[in-house]
Structure 1
Amino acid sequence: MAGDGEDGGPTAGAGHDGPDDTVLAAGCVLWRRPREGAGGPEICLVHRPKYDDWSHPKGKLKRAEDTLAGALREVYEETGHHCAPGARLGTVRYLAQGRPKLVSYWAAEATDGAFTPNTEVDRIVWLAPAAARERLTQPRDRVLVDALLDALHAT
């Protein structure tokens, strides 16, 4: 998640601003099929030690970067997993340190990869949707779990 801080401020080489100084970012609700037996999807959440929070993988877009490409890059950087993008899940808007932030999200199925802890993300967890909803720090991220489930049921 190069350069993505909750402060929403500019960082060297990361992120860019949209109209009206909005910080543009993108991410995915990363999911996988259950490892054993039947059941619903497992959702990946990332823990950021700087903020001591749990969220979906996301981060600021690089200048002129395509939104979906940025979302997939952030998933890989934060989780070590490649993924296949699916339905667009919507956009979350909020203020971060007084600046508007706009984060576009997609559903994305994990295909392969392995997590390695780093300074930005020190842990990931794979949880059932109800447990993921409870673990997420920000209420605005919880609606994305429902959006993912709706998208998966529509296919």
Structure 2
Amino acid sequence: MPEAGLVRSAGGVVFRQRDVLLIRVSDIKGRPVWSFPKGRLDAGETPAQAALREVLEETGWCCRIEADLSTTEYWFQREGRRFRKTVVWFKMSALEEAGVPDGEVEEVQWVDREVALGRLTYPSDVALLSQALSQGPFSR
């Protein structure tokens, strides 16, 4: 079996009042997936820098990190090769719309947090949103 590769990513659970920012992409089989913005770390980038950059690139929103969330880990396969992906997550607040989503994302939508809990595709994302909500309001 080919050696597994490691992919390091970071992302954000972004809030604006009672709403949370979700993205819709398609999985490898073309099915819609509702999730949070995330992406790979560039060379020399910290997880926090990557998360802010990826949220901006994928959603068009400039944000501020409010708190650390968990790190998720999962395996995926592409072109016959296995990869272990780790994603460092941050709780963020939206500051301003500063751009347009890149081509990776099919839809960006602000959704009430309760609606988001039912819309997210993966149980790990539901758990991540629940964790962010359990931290309470932002400390400003």
TM over 0.5: yes
**Structure 2: which 5+ runs fail to align?**
none
Q: Do the aligned residues in 1 keep the contact of 2:56 with 2:101 (CA within 8 Å)? A: no
Q: Do the aligned residues in 2 keep the contact of 1:47 with 1:124 (CA within 8 Å)? A: yes
Other-structure match for 1:99: 83
Structure 1 residue identity aligned to 2:67? A
Distance 2:50 2:90 in 1: 11
Structure 2 residue identity aligned to 1:48? V
Q: Does 1:47 align with 2:24?
A: yes
Other-structure match for 1:122: 106
2:37 to 57, 70, 74: 57
Structure 1 residue identity aligned to 2:21? C
Give me the CA root mean square deviation. Answer: 1.9
SS of structure 1 residue aligned to 2:135: helix
Other-structure match for 1:8: none
Distance 1:142 1:107 in 2: 14
Q: Does 1:81 align with 2:58?
A: no
Distance 2:15 2:138 in 1: 16
Other-structure match for 2:136: 152
Compute the TM-score of the two structures, normalised by the length of structure 2: 0.83
Percent identity of equivalent pairs: 34
- Alignment size in residue pairs: 129
Q: Does 1:111 align with 2:95?
A: yes
Other-structure match for 1:27: 11
Compute the TM-score of the two structures, normalised by the length of structure 1: 0.76
More strand by share: 2
Structure 2 residue identity aligned to 1:82? C
